[in-house]
Amino acid sequence: MNVPEHESPAVESYVRLQVLGMHLRAHGFTVHYVAGGLVVRNMTSTGRGGCGARGASGDTITCRTRAEDEGRYWYFTSWRQPIAECERITDALVFIKGYLGAPG
Protein backbone atom coordinates (compact mmCIF):
# COMPACT_ATOMS: atom_id res chain seq x y z
CA MET A 1 0.00 0.00 0.00
CA ASN A 2 1.38 3.42 -0.95
CA VAL A 3 0.94 6.19 1.60
CA PRO A 4 0.63 9.71 0.15
CA GLU A 5 3.66 11.82 1.03
CA HIS A 6 1.55 14.26 3.05
CA GLU A 7 0.42 11.34 5.24
CA SER A 8 3.83 9.76 5.78
CA PRO A 9 5.00 9.09 9.35
CA ALA A 10 7.88 11.56 8.93
CA VAL A 11 5.51 14.36 7.89
CA GLU A 12 3.04 13.49 10.64
CA SER A 13 5.80 13.54 13.27
CA TYR A 14 7.15 16.86 11.95
CA VAL A 15 3.73 18.51 12.06
CA ARG A 16 3.09 17.28 15.60
CA LEU A 17 6.52 18.52 16.73
CA GLN A 18 5.71 21.92 15.17
CA VAL A 19 2.52 22.09 17.25
CA LEU A 20 4.38 21.18 20.45
CA GLY A 21 7.08 23.72 19.60
CA MET A 22 4.51 26.53 19.29
CA HIS A 23 3.09 25.69 22.71
CA LEU A 24 6.52 25.43 24.31
CA ARG A 25 7.55 28.83 22.89
CA ALA A 26 4.35 30.32 24.33
CA HIS A 27 5.46 28.98 27.72
CA GLY A 28 8.91 30.56 27.47
CA PHE A 29 11.04 27.69 26.20
CA THR A 30 13.54 28.08 23.37
CA VAL A 31 12.99 25.51 20.63
CA HIS A 32 14.56 24.63 17.31
CA TYR A 33 14.05 21.78 14.92
CA VAL A 34 16.66 19.21 13.99
CA ALA A 35 16.33 16.18 11.74
CA GLY A 36 13.68 14.04 13.42
CA GLY A 37 13.39 16.04 16.62
CA LEU A 38 12.70 19.20 18.54
CA VAL A 39 15.46 20.63 20.74
CA VAL A 40 13.86 22.25 23.78
CA ARG A 41 15.81 24.45 26.17
CA ASN A 42 14.99 26.28 29.35
CA MET A 43 17.53 29.07 29.15
CA THR A 44 16.73 30.24 32.69
CA SER A 45 17.40 26.87 34.35
CA THR A 46 19.95 26.86 37.14
CA GLY A 47 20.34 23.08 37.01
CA ARG A 48 23.52 21.27 36.06
CA GLY A 49 22.08 20.38 32.66
CA GLY A 50 22.33 16.61 32.87
CA CYS A 51 19.99 15.04 30.33
CA GLY A 52 16.90 13.81 32.11
CA ALA A 53 18.04 14.96 35.53
CA ARG A 54 15.95 17.31 37.58
CA GLY A 55 16.96 20.84 36.62
CA ALA A 56 18.16 19.81 33.18
CA SER A 57 18.33 22.71 30.78
CA GLY A 58 17.43 20.94 27.55
CA ASP A 59 16.43 17.81 25.68
CA THR A 60 15.61 16.61 22.18
CA ILE A 61 12.02 15.48 21.89
CA THR A 62 10.88 13.09 19.18
CA CYS A 63 7.48 11.99 17.94
CA ARG A 64 6.53 8.53 16.76
CA THR A 65 3.82 5.93 17.04
CA ARG A 66 3.58 3.88 20.20
CA ALA A 67 2.65 0.23 19.73
CA GLU A 68 1.45 -0.03 23.36
CA ASP A 69 -1.19 2.61 22.56
CA GLU A 70 -2.62 1.17 19.35
CA GLY A 71 -0.15 3.05 17.17
CA ARG A 72 -1.11 6.54 18.31
CA TYR A 73 1.52 9.26 18.02
CA TRP A 74 3.41 10.11 21.22
CA TYR A 75 6.18 12.49 22.22
CA PHE A 76 9.33 10.92 23.69
CA THR A 77 12.41 12.19 25.53
CA SER A 78 15.86 11.69 24.01
CA TRP A 79 16.28 8.62 26.20
CA ARG A 80 13.02 7.15 24.78
CA GLN A 81 10.83 7.79 27.81
CA PRO A 82 7.21 8.45 26.77
CA ILE A 83 6.07 12.00 27.52
CA ALA A 84 2.42 12.07 26.42
CA GLU A 85 0.16 11.21 23.53
CA CYS A 86 0.37 13.97 20.93
CA GLU A 87 -3.31 14.78 21.31
CA ARG A 88 -2.61 15.68 24.97
CA ILE A 89 -0.52 18.85 24.59
CA THR A 90 -1.23 20.04 28.14
CA ASP A 91 0.04 16.74 29.56
CA ALA A 92 3.18 17.06 27.43
CA LEU A 93 3.75 20.64 28.67
CA VAL A 94 3.33 19.61 32.31
CA PHE A 95 5.78 16.72 31.85
CA ILE A 96 8.37 18.87 30.07
CA LYS A 97 8.09 21.66 32.67
CA GLY A 98 8.55 19.02 35.34
CA TYR A 99 11.93 17.84 34.13
CA LEU A 100 13.29 20.95 32.41
CA GLY A 101 11.81 23.42 34.88
CA ALA A 102 9.42 26.21 34.02
CA PRO A 103 11.19 29.14 32.36
CA GLY A 104 11.33 32.12 34.67
Q: What is the reported pLDDT for 2?
A: 47
Domain count, the chain: 1
Answer yes or no: are the C-beta atoms of 81 and 63 closer than 8 Å: no
Lowest-confidence region among 6-10, 52-56, 80-84: 52-56
* Overall residue count recorded for the chain in this entry: 104
- In the chain, the percentage of residues whose pLDDT exceeds 70 is 81
For 12, the domain range is 5-100
